Copies of this chain bind each other. A is one copy, B any other.
């Protein structure tokens, strides 16, 4: 097993090209057929790689979906660094609001929910996704702390800012206006 892992990833090399092709294939299949209606074999065929390449790198459909979700979330709402906690929070919250109300936003959120379904692999993949996102949030709060600002903990941020936005979009509770999103951040501050 350890020999198989010897050829490590070179950015811009074959590993990166395979990663991009597989992510692209998953995104297309999600849009065309929806979650649960395609297999790793379908993904591999669309990406032009062997099934075993996908299995070896991602291990399961759930892990692959979590990786695609996290990559898209990061590409669309990178963690801001504006110099103040308030600036970071407002920029980040506005970015999340834009992302989850955008063309694929609801599909992305519903995919994350689908990963939480029955099955340990989906749960594990979602845990990885949430842990990575929490790590990024903590680094934002750590920077605030180093500047001498009082920063919230990640759980409070999720409860007061992210959860209301997510639920509003998932349950069709009305638009995420700038006033609404700023109000959530005000409540946190």
- Of the candidates A112, A159, A184, the one having the most CB atoms from chain B within 10 angstroms of its own CB is A159
Query: What is the interface of chain A, defined by CB distance below 8 A to chain B?
Result: 36, 106, 110, 112-114, 116-117, 123, 126-127, 130, 158-160, 162-164, 166-168, 170-173, 184
With A166-B163, A167-B158 known to touch, is A172 a contact of B110 (CB < 8 Å)? no
- Please give me the 9 A-B residue pairs with the lowest Cβ-Cβ distance, nearest first: A159-B164, A163-B167, A163-B163, A163-B164, A113-B113, A113-B170, A116-B172, A126-B172, A166-B167
How many monomers of this chain does the complex have? 2
CA distance A106 to B118 in the complex (A): 9
Instruction: Say yes or no: A112 contacts B159, CB within 8 Å.
Output: no
Instruction: Say yes or no: B127 contacts A172, CB within 8 Å.
Output: yes
A101 to chain B, nearest CB (A): 13
Q: Across the interface, which residues of B come within 8 angstroms of A166, CB to CB?
A: 163, 167
With A164-B163, A184-B159 known to touch, is A171 a contact of B106 (CB < 8 Å)? no
With A126-B171, A126-B172 known to touch, is A106 a contact of B110 (CB < 8 Å)? no
CA distance A170 to B126 in the complex (A): 10
Q: Across the interface, which residues of B come within 8 angstroms of A123, CB to CB?
A: 172
Considering the complex, give the chain B residue whose CB is closest to the CB of A130: B171
CA distance A187 to B173 in the complex (A): 22
